[in-house]
A and B are shown apart, each in its own frame.
Chain A
Amino acid sequence: MTMATDVETPVQFGGDRSLFGLFLPASRRGAHAVLLCPPLGQDMIRSHRIYRQLARGLAAEGVPVLRFDYFGTGDSAGENIQLDWHRCLTDIGTAATELRTRSGCDTIMAFGARLGGSLAMQASASARFAKVVAWDPVLDGAAHVARQDAMQQALLGDLNRFAQPRSSMIDQWCGFPVPAALRQQLGKLQATAPAAPLHLLDSTPSGIPQRELLLAGGATVTPLRQPTPWDELERIEVAILSRELVEQASAALRTAH
């Protein structure tokens, strides 16, 4: 094992330096680097710790890593309501270019959880990913939209959270506004094989819906023993932590093949 420099450098890049990221170099120059594409909404906040753990683990293996926030999310510029699927895809390309420049590696692999996995798959051609590792990616957008709507309704009536049931005129999912365009974009999201080799990490209790379409196209899958509570109302503010995920994702991303 090669020791990482262990110091993440905050970076601001893209047009008007509007994107925020943290670059973690490796102590030796390797054959490839990894771009961590975050999920959206509350999944992003919940996954922050595990993304950091994954970045540190990969850097310790000699793989430079960039994690970043899309426009309208995290520390990047833009308001929540400006979140847009196509802009996220563009941002992934911008982040991949930034990672190539900083790491000196032309070969880039991508990792993404949930909608971050879906985005990484869609951006694989334009960002020239050598491989995509997707953890519980959303492959059926319409079902995802319906699930988020149902969770939001349950949240408004959750008397463990609110003293009285609430109503809202704002379209939102678990704390984040839903731009009208994004709702439409997600509603049309379908499982499509990415241009790059795809490895699925599946921690859903009954298998990622529609994953068979991708497996038939050559994708590989590692089932995870520990199910991830993505859509449990009681846990929407609990960090997503999984040693198994970090181990399996690291294994899938540490070599250039």
Chain B
Amino acid sequence: MNETAFRFGRADHLVGLLGAPASASSRGEVGVIVLNAGLVHHVGPFRLHVDLTRRLNASGYPTLRMDLSTLGDSGASGALQSREQQVRTDISDAMALLRAQAGCTRFVLIGLCSGAENAHLAACTEPSIAGAVFLDGYAYRTLGFRLRHYAPRLLQPARIARFLARRMRKAASPSIGAAEPSFSVEFPPLPQVRDELADMLQRGLRLCFIYSGGVSYFNHLRQFRECFGRHIATHGGASVHFLREVDHTYTLVEDRQRLVDMIDAWLRAQWP
């Protein structure tokens, strides 16, 4: 392990851990930036980002796990910016650090939940970004989703009973989930996201979409094609996975190991 902690950014307000590759290779040109998952600081849910970046370092990729402005250990830049501007500038600062410290020329973003949203945002406009891994990123409920979701429930009284019991528990304890950090992310309209993904692929980006069974809006691999169309779903630059049995934040040790294996294998296949 060869990691160095940095303060960096336009206002020296960002904090991140830069991991150097275990050995020099052409993979060293590709810097991997891991973004915050929700409000969790840069070690990631259950230390996922530490496990992931260290594995990628062992595979030869420089990495940076970081906190965006005001999250985790990072402060505010003091600049008056929209959230979108701030995210783009933070990621630009991260790329500058990896360029200066590790000689990277291209970058891959990895994000879970709101991290996927931020990765998408930056990948839309930043020409140095060569790829992204979206963990529970954008997807939309389709007719197929609704059929798969509701049809089995209507045939299973026990599930209906469990659903009603959950509702009653929540009603009895309204403080649960109230005013607390949650996983919910407001998605932009589907046509916009579809056009943006098509544009990324047309520009040569490689995209890896991994959905878990822990989100309420995705329930089958087929749904990706239902959402975004055949052109995107079958594009050679897109790789789509659905891990039905795992939860949103990969709580179990074995699920995180599996995810790390998948991302490592995908990166090595794309940038050998």
Contacts and interface: CB of A to CB of B under 8 A. Distances in A.
Contacts of B41: 45, 48-49
B239 to A, nearest CB: 22
Interface residues of B, number: 40
A168 B254 contact: yes
Contacts of B39: 49, 239
Contact of A45 (B6, B45, B73): B45
Interface in B13-59: 15, 17, 39-43, 45-47, 50-51
B69 interface: no
A177 interface: yes
A172 interface: yes
A175 interface: yes
Contacts of A1: none
Given A11-B5, A75-B43, A239-B181, A161 B245 contact: no
B247 interface: yes
Q: Name A's interface SS.
A: loop
A75 B5 contact: yes
B230 interface: no
A87 interface: no
A215 to B, nearest CB: 31
Given A12-B4, A48-B41, A175 B253 contact: yes
Contacts of B254: 168-170
Given A52-B73, A75-B43, A161 B251 contact: yes
Which of B1, B42, B47 has the most CB atoms of chain A within a 10 A radius of its CB?
B47
A158 to B, nearest CB: 9
A166 interface: yes
Interface string A44-70: 010011001000000000000000000
Nearest to B49: A75
Given A48-B72, A162-B245, A166-B252, A10 B5 contact: yes
Interface in A120-178: 155, 159-164, 166, 168-170, 172, 174-177
B40 A45 contact: yes
Contact of B5 (A20, A163, A170, A172): A20
A22 B74 CA distance: 11
B180 interface: yes
A234 interface: yes
A163 B3 CA distance: 37
A238 B252 contact: no
Chain A interface size, as a band, is 35 or more
A160 B183 CA distance: 13
Contacts of A12: 3-5
Q: Name B's interface SS.
A: loop
A78 B5 CA distance: 16
B166 interface: yes
A172 B72 CA distance: 25
A163 B180 contact: no
A77 interface: yes
B167 interface: no
B7 interface: yes
B50 A75 contact: yes
Which of B6, B42, B254 has the most CB atoms of chain A within a 10 A radius of its CB?
B254
B192 to A, nearest CB: 29
A9 B3 CA distance: 16
A138 to B, nearest CB: 20
A9 B43 contact: no
B247 A161 contact: yes
A79 B4 CA distance: 17
Contacts of B244: 163
B259 to A, nearest CB: 13
A8 interface: yes
Interface string A10-48: 111000000010100000000000000000001001001
26 contacts: A6-B75, A10-B7, A20-B5, A20-B17, A42-B46, A45-B46, A49-B39, A73-B47, A74-B47, A74-B50, A75-B5, A77-B3, A159-B162, A161-B214, A162-B213, A164-B245, A170-B253, A172-B252, A174-B251, A175-B45, A175-B46, A175-B251, A175-B253, A176-B47, A235-B180, A237-B45
Given A234-B177, A238-B181, 12 more contacts: A10-B6, A10-B73, A45-B41, A45-B45, A45-B47, A75-B17, A77-B1, A79-B51, A161-B251, A168-B253, A172-B252, A238-B180
